[in-house]
Structure 1
Amino acid sequence: MRVFICYEGFSEPFDVPPDQTVMALKQAVKSNFLVQLSDDEQARQYLELSYGGAALHDSWALSDVGITSGSTIRCFVKTEQRPVMYVFNTVTGETLPIAGNESLLHTSVAKLTTMISVQSGIPVSTFRLSTPANVQLYDCNQLQDYAIKTGTILRLDTWDGWVEFLRGCLQGHRLTVQGHLSEEKPVMRFQLRVALYIAAWSGHLDLAGWLLERGVHPEEPVGVHPYRQWCHQTAHQDTRKCSTHAAAESGQLLILKLFINSNILSLACRDPEGRDPLKIAIQCGHGECARYLANKLCSVVSLPNMSLPMRIYLQIKCWVSSGKKRAASNRCQYNSAAFKARLGKTLLVDGFNQPKMSSKSRGAATKQGRGNKALLPIRNLLSISHLPSKRAKPLLPSLQTMKEMQEKHERRMESREDASLEFSHHCGQKLRENVVYCLTMASTFTEKPWMKQLDIARTLVRKHVHSMDRCS
């Protein structure tokens, strides 16, 4: 078939087979137009082919995205800055490139932590950074204090036993998040705020709605881990960011609508820099979110016998909310002690004890915690009260039934997971994630109608299934 390539105002016909890959077409375009691409230590240039408003991936075949004879493909030369450093994310197993120039090496660790949080969607209070020599980076220091050079690969670690929990938050799996909540109430409340933050950044409506039903407030800051709440004065300033700010930064319009319908105070919450969600959406370039927030702020609230502008109504609501919190803290300070750190609980101070942030699995962290428990004295074990009695009754039938039901449920879940892994995994992703990925890729063809986008998504999913069959 014959397609036309437009490059810098020129159009040339190319006779290619329908199953030719984008990479092979790039090589033909490069040799035909005599394109010279530079590649140095700071930046590199590459060719990008665009069709229907979307950039074509090198591994795609032309027929997979609906390119037929007579189609016009645009060609551009793009410049990409080489990353200054990399961060290995132990939660996702991916390596994040940190773009910028050499001046980034002279910035503070706190600024780098903010960049990583915005790029990965994980709150700053849930991870720490370390050098390849396993030296922890503290927010108050500069990167040059650790002799970090260009190309250094840093490591991102989270709290022990949190890897599965954070991974479930990023994937939007509510059952996984629910199954990995801590038994300690202060830690569990902190985990719920973290989960809502990640759900807002990722756009998981189901998980966000479930967390709102659990009583998590989208305008409430994520805060610090309960183990570190006595050191909150030295914490990163982004610990005062809330889930609404994360949704505005990532442009999640549906999440913003959900939060505002749940609590109108989400419109007025401000981040550590004093920005409200509208200003964040404008600075991040999310036009639809900015228009929605602006319309909400310019609306009128109808009350019995009166109407108030939204901004004045928000000021009154904030004043009432602060008054309620102050009254509750004065009257119910003893009732709220159960949700705060108490005597005998773990306390972490920088430089004085282990941070407990080495990304250990939940089983390893539990075994380590159990290993610190002291055994009972032998004399107590051999006392008369601990000896078996002839009249001792066996285990209650109800407890046995519950234990058997739990074991059967665990075996059923394991067999179900093993059966699904056989055909759902492909290139490290599950089938559902592949379908979502293909739909996202098809939605980038903005110049095509939505029915055509759906056909492209079906073709990409079918290709993934065939590739999975060949791998198996």
Structure 2
Amino acid sequence: MRVFICFDGSCEPFDVPPDQTVRAMKQMVKDNFLVQLSDDKQVRQYLELSYGGAALQDSWALCDVGITSGSAIQCLIKSEQRPVMRVFNAVTGETLPIMGSEALLHMSVARLKTVVSMQSGLPVSTFRLSTLTGVQLYDCNQLQDYAIEVGTTLRLDTWDGWVEFLQGCLLGHRLTVQSHLSEKKPVMRFQLQVALCIAASLGHLDLAGWLLERGMHAEEPVGVHPYRQWCHQTAHRDTGKCPIHIAAESSQLLILKLFITKNLLTLACRDPGGHDPLKIAIQRGHRDCVRYLANKLCSVVSLPNMSLPMRIYLQIKCWVSLGQKRAASNQCQYTSAAFCNPRVGETLLVDGFNHPNMSSKSRKAVTKPSRGIKAKAWQPLPPTSNLLSVSHLPSKRALPQLPTLQSVNPGDFKEIQKKLEQDVKSREDGLLDEISKEDSSLCRGKFILPPITSRESIPRLVFVGASSKSSHILTASQESFSHYCGRTPRENAINCLTIASTFTEKPWLKQLSIARTLIRKRVPTMA
């Protein structure tokens, strides 16, 4: 068939077979138009064939995407800037590109951690950077001290046992975060503050609202891990950032409204550079956040028999709060001080001397060995009298008697389920009770979000008369497809529909036909 390639103001015909691949078409364009593409460390040029508003992939055949005889394909030269370096995130399994010029290789490790934190959403005190050979990068050094070149890939690791917790924070799953909290109260408090910072960065309203109800504060800095608090003077500067500052940087307007509704003092909270949320939003150019914060600061607070401007009201509130904290600390009632200073018997981490506890090990890998040793140590030894007298040993083991099953009425099932939910809720409240009691005087107001209604279970279709053999064949074919493709049939269909939807210039039925063709072509390829 004959197709037309439009390139650089000219249109040339090409006679190609219908099953011609896009990669072969690009080579024909290079040879015919004498295209020279540059490929260096910073910039890479490549050809892109476009049809129907979508970029064609190299592995596609022309007939797969509905290209017929007489079709016009547009050819463009695209430039792609290569990243200066890459950072492999061990939490998500993704590789983050660090874009810019070669001048970035002369910046400090602390500055690089700030850039990585903004891209990944993780606070700087939750991860470390190291080379692929295992050399850890310290904040006080420069990148050139480690001989890092253009194209180098670094590795991001988190604390052992934190992978599942941070994944739940990044996804905004409250139950996952709750189930992977540490049993040590100082570490658990630090985890909750980390979760609030991640929720502020990514806009997870449900998670942020739950953390505020548990006693976390948007005007408190994220801080450092309790193992490092003895040397907080040399900590990274961004550890002094609060969730309200992160929300202003990330342009999360709904999170800002949630924090300010919970506590007006967040309007006057300043970061390590002395900037309040309004100034941060102005520097970042987030207009919606600037408009909201400016209106709040210029508003008037109505009190009994008087009205005060917001700025004066905030100053009075800051003075009152500071006086309460000082009075409580003098009377040894300010409980949060117990979490700030390490105590006797706790672990301290000295950089360069201790074995690193940030190797991104999963929670199961950390807890499995200790459980095995504990179970083996508590295993009782048989008495010596039984070893000597073999005749007293029973021939068969006595089976344990199970409790008898009792019939339950349908009406009593709801009461049992309600009682179980109350038990789970009481355990959850008891786990975080001491943390939620801290600074309770500053958290009297509650911001109640609308409840999330659960979806009703969708009934599945039942095929009457289907034999067990046919269902076995269907299940086996689906399992083999998932084994060779790496995704389920549903995920494969979604992927093909997503690719077909990029042909924006084609009608919907044509896009559906392209998706069907891609599915049919991929199954024989895997077979």
- How does the TM-score come out when normalised to structure 1? 0.70
Once the two structures are TM-superposed, the CA of residue 143 in structure 1 deviates from its matched residue by 1.2
1:451-470 equivalences under 5 Å are none
2:354 paired with 1:365: no
Amino acid at match of 2:215: G
Equivalent residues of 1:127, 1:157 under 8 A apart: yes
CA distance in 2: counterparts of 1:369 and 1:37, whole angstroms? 58
Amino acid at match of 1:184: K
Gaps of 5+ in 2: 14-20, 61-72, 385-399, 404-419, 425-474, 503-508
Equivalent residues of 2:325, 2:334 under 8 A apart: no
Pairwise CA RMSD of aligned residues? 5.5
Residues 333-376 of structure 1 deviation map (CA, whole Å, 9 limit, x = unaligned)? 57556545321111111122123111111111113445787987
Q: Hey, what does 1:354 align to over in structure 2?
A: 355
CA distance in 1: counterparts of 2:275 and 2:517, whole angstroms? 45
1:58-69 equivalences under 5 Å are none
Amino acid at match of 1:323: G
CA distance in 2: counterparts of 1:228 and 1:209, whole angstroms? 28
Most deviating of 269-278 and 164-173: 269-278
Most deviating of 112-121 and 254-263: 254-263
Q: Hey, what does 2:258 align to over in structure 1?
A: 258
Most deviating of 120-129 and 313-322: 313-322
Q: Hey, what does 2:129 align to over in structure 1?
A: 129
2:165 paired with 1:165: yes
Amino acid at match of 2:274: G
Amino acid at match of 1:367: K
Equivalent residues of 1:7, 1:76 under 8 A apart: yes
Q: Hey, what does 1:392 align to over in structure 2?
A: none
Amino acid at match of 2:205: L
Equivalent residues of 1:129, 1:156 under 8 A apart: yes
Residues 259-298 of structure 1 deviation map (CA, whole Å, 9 limit, x = unaligned)? 1111222222222222222222232232222222222222
Three-state SS of the structure 2 residue aligned to 1:246 is helix
CA distance in 2: counterparts of 1:326 and 1:297, whole angstroms? 27
Equivalent residues of 2:87, 2:155 under 8 A apart: yes
Residues 140-177 of structure 1 deviation map (CA, whole Å, 9 limit, x = unaligned)? 11112212122111111100000010011111111111
Amino acid at match of 2:282: I
Three-state SS of the structure 1 residue aligned to 2:355 is coil
Equivalent residues of 1:109, 1:137 under 8 A apart: yes
CA distance in 2: counterparts of 1:212 and 1:463, whole angstroms? 50
Instruction: Flag the 1:429–1:275 CA change in 2: closer, same or farther, 3 A.
Output: farther
Instruction: Flag the 1:336–1:289 CA change in 2: closer, same or farther, 3 A.
Output: closer
Equivalent residues of 1:106, 1:143 under 8 A apart: yes
Gaps of 5+ in 1: 15-20, 62-72, 384-394, 399-404, 410-418, 445-454
Percent identical across equivalent pairs?
69
Q: Hey, what does 2:393 align to over in structure 1?
A: none
Instruction: Flag the 1:262–1:334 CA change in 2: closer, same or farther, 3 A.
Output: closer
Q: Hey, what does 2:227 align to over in structure 1?
A: 227
Instruction: Flag the 1:30–1:221 CA change in 2: closer, same or farther, 3 A.
Output: farther
Q: Hey, what does 1:91 align to over in structure 2?
A: 91
CA distance in 1: counterparts of 2:54 and 2:286, whole angstroms? 20
Residues 243-264 of structure 1 deviation map (CA, whole Å, 9 limit, x = unaligned)? 1222222222211111111122
Once the two structures are TM-superposed, the CA of residue 186 in structure 1 deviates from its matched residue by 0.7
Residues 38-78 of structure 1 deviation map (CA, whole Å, 9 limit, x = unaligned)? 43211235689999xx997969x9xxxxxxxxxxx999976
Instruction: Flag the 1:379–1:171 CA change in 2: closer, same or farther, 3 A.
Output: closer
CA distance in 2: counterparts of 1:294 and 1:212, whole angstroms? 24
Three-state SS of the structure 2 residue aligned to 1:140 is coil
CA distance in 2: counterparts of 1:55 and 1:315, whole angstroms? 56
Instruction: Flag the 1:159–1:314 CA change in 2: closer, same or farther, 3 A.
Output: same
Three-state SS of the structure 2 residue aligned to 1:251 is coil
Equivalent residues of 2:84, 2:101 under 8 A apart: yes
1:185-196 equivalences under 5 Å are 185-196=185-196
CA distance in 2: counterparts of 1:248 and 1:143, whole angstroms? 29
CA distance in 2: counterparts of 1:460 and 1:274, whole angstroms? 56
CA distance in 1: counterparts of 2:350 and 2:23, whole angstroms? 53
Instruction: Flag the 1:377–1:105 CA change in 2: closer, same or farther, 3 A.
Output: same
Equivalent residues of 1:172, 1:206 under 8 A apart: yes
Three-state SS of the structure 2 residue aligned to 1:222 is coil
Amino acid at match of 1:262: K
Amino acid at match of 2:283: Q
Give the count of matched residue pairs.
435
Once the two structures are TM-superposed, the CA of residue 128 in structure 1 deviates from its matched residue by 0.7
CA distance in 1: counterparts of 2:36 and 2:245, whole angstroms? 43
Three-state SS of the structure 1 residue aligned to 2:103 is helix
Three-state SS of the structure 2 residue aligned to 1:346 is coil
Instruction: Flag the 1:48–1:313 CA change in 2: closer, same or farther, 3 A.
Output: farther
Once the two structures are TM-superposed, the CA of residue 194 in structure 1 deviates from its matched residue by 0.5
Equivalent residues of 2:41, 2:150 under 8 A apart: no
2:354 paired with 1:345: no
CA distance in 2: counterparts of 1:379 and 1:80, whole angstroms? 67
Amino acid at match of 2:313: Y
Three-state SS of the structure 2 residue aligned to 1:157 is strand
Instruction: Flag the 1:270–1:81 CA change in 2: closer, same or farther, 3 A.
Output: farther
1:26-425 equivalences under 5 Å are 38-45=38-45, 79-333=79-333, 335-336=335-336, 339=339, 341-370=342-371
Amino acid at match of 2:356: P
Instruction: Flag the 1:7–1:148 CA change in 2: closer, same or farther, 3 A.
Output: same
Q: Hey, what does 1:416 align to over in structure 2?
A: none
CA distance in 2: counterparts of 1:291 and 1:158, whole angstroms? 37
Equivalent residues of 1:48, 1:55 under 8 A apart: no
Most deviating of 75-84 and 458-467: 458-467
Amino acid at match of 1:167: Q
